[in-house]
Amino acid sequence: MGDIPSTHAPLRSGLRRAYPPDFSQLQEDSHRAKITKITLQITINKISPTRCLPHTNNLRVGVCVDELTKLSCVGNFVSSGRRSVVAWNHPFTFTGSLASTVSIYLSTLPQPGDGWMEEHIGQEIKLDACQLLLANSVRYYCVPGLDGAPRLHISVNVTTPMVTDHDCFKDLQVSAAELWDYHKKYNNGSALNSCIELEQASLDLCPPGHPDQHHALANLASSLWTQYNLLGSQADLELAIDMEKQVLDLLPPGHPDRHNALANLASSLQTQYKLLGSQADLELAIDMEKQVLDLLPPGHPARHHALADLAFSLQTQYKLLGSQADLELAIDMQKQVLDLCPPGHPD
């Protein structure tokens, strides 16, 4: 979105640490324990399929606690190095009780040629939280309904959430980038929807204070803006703008990515102006585009984009308010753009 690109690039990853579980509270009165809220961490350690799965090498695990569903990142047999094992160590954190219902299911994500449609395979594993917690620390569950059913290696404990990295963050970003590229190449809405889902999962792994939170927000906002242009849902546009404002708050003056954040938010505000006709959106977009231009001095390779964006917005404001000064400034900037794009320039 915008003329200054915001990339969907793989980002840094790290290791998630977890405190050892404290099961002492589970030995209290059973009735009291069932109504006490606890924080559950359910970790999908790995999956050991005993046969080839249909149509794909890509797997996801879904965990649902009391109707709240969270999905793992995409695991790939081939990239894991051993076709028989996909390792995740992917924790899901839920707030529930010992009476909470836990469902676990396996799904496949076919290759782009099959449309990137997620498909559940086998049947759900349904348990309650007490069963999981009081069992061994690592459990092996076969996915029912499949011949040669895969085994899920699962560990569960009571935990205190931490602001830490997770070792699948990079994998999520890489998978999202592949889906984004596929959408851009083929205008495939299903690929974009899956990309948004993975980017949301990435953002969930970047709580406040995480060094890559602004990247995760910016990528998801860009995809939501793209989905708005594809489907026309105002909710997507509003969410994109909200996230881009958060990105800007995370990038103070002097940050090297601030001009990208300003340009993307200005572009989204321009889009919202076209939708709703709010003069305030247009004025704020122009203010931000002026800031972008100030951050891109003569000689910067993106300066002609910033000039073109601001010229377009000033021309739009001229049509709205009839100010000759806006029109004259827009023309002056368009001349500068032309000077920066000699014959043979791709723009």
Q: What domains are there in the chain, each with its CATH number? A: 24-158 (2.60.40.150), 169-295 (1.25.40.10)
Distance CA 8, CA 251 (A): 18
Least confident segment among 35-44, 191-200, 201-210, 300-309: 35-44
Confidence of residue 46 (pLDDT cuts 50, 70, 90): confident
**How do strand 138-142 and strand 119-128 relate by DSSP bridges?**
unpaired
CA distances from 89 to 15, 49, 81, 209 (A): 10, 16, 16, 22
Put residue 209 in one of left, alpha, beta given phi > 0 → left and psi -120 to 50 → alpha: left
Whose CA is closest to 262, among 274, 275, 272, 249? 249
Confidence of residue 217 (pLDDT cuts 50, 70, 90): very high
Q: Is 89 helix (H, G, I), strand (E, B) or coil?
A: strand
Mean pLDDT (whole number) for 104-112: 70
Confidence of residue 229 (pLDDT cuts 50, 70, 90): very high
Whose tokens are 């109504």? That residue is 35
Residue 186 has pLDDT above 50, yes or no: yes
Mean pLDDT (whole number) for 90-97: 76
Output the average pLDDT for the chain. 76
Residues facing residue 107 across a β-bridge: 60, 120
Distance CA 243, CA 42 (A): 29
Q: In degrees, to the nearest 5, what angle opens at C-alpha 159 toward C-alphas 156 and 161? A: 125
Give the distance from CA 78 to its chain's centroid: 24
As a whole-number percent, the residues of the chain with pLDDT over 90 amount to 37
Confidence of residue 162 (pLDDT cuts 50, 70, 90): very low
Per-residue model confidence (pLDDT) at position 11? 25
- Token output for 178: 């592949």
Put residue 106 in one of left, alpha, beta given phi > 0 → left and psi -120 to 50 → alpha: beta
Residue 8 has pLDDT above 80, yes or no: no
Q: What is the pTM of this model?
A: 0.60
Per-residue model confidence (pLDDT) at position 47? 72
Mean pLDDT (whole number) for 231-240: 97
Per-residue model confidence (pLDDT) at position 315? 96
pLDDT digits (tens, 9 = 90+) for 289-339: 999 999 999 999 999 999 999 999 999 999 999 999 999 999 999 999 999
Whose CA is closest to 40, among 22, 62, 16? 22
Per-residue model confidence (pLDDT) at position 248? 96
Long-range contact set of residues 194-203: C-beta below 8 Å, sequence gap at least 24: 194/109, 194/116, 194/118, 195/8, 195/223, 196/220, 196/223, 196/224, 196/227, 197/71, 198/73, 198/74, 198/172, 199/172, 199/223, 201/71, 201/73, 201/172, 202/169, 202/172, 202/173, 202/176
Quick check: 259 and 296 in contact, CB under 8 A?
Answer: yes
Residue 184 has pLDDT above 70, yes or no: yes
Which has the higher per-residue pLDDT, 43 or 314? 314
Most confident region among 16-20, 63-67, 163-167 by mean pLDDT = 63-67
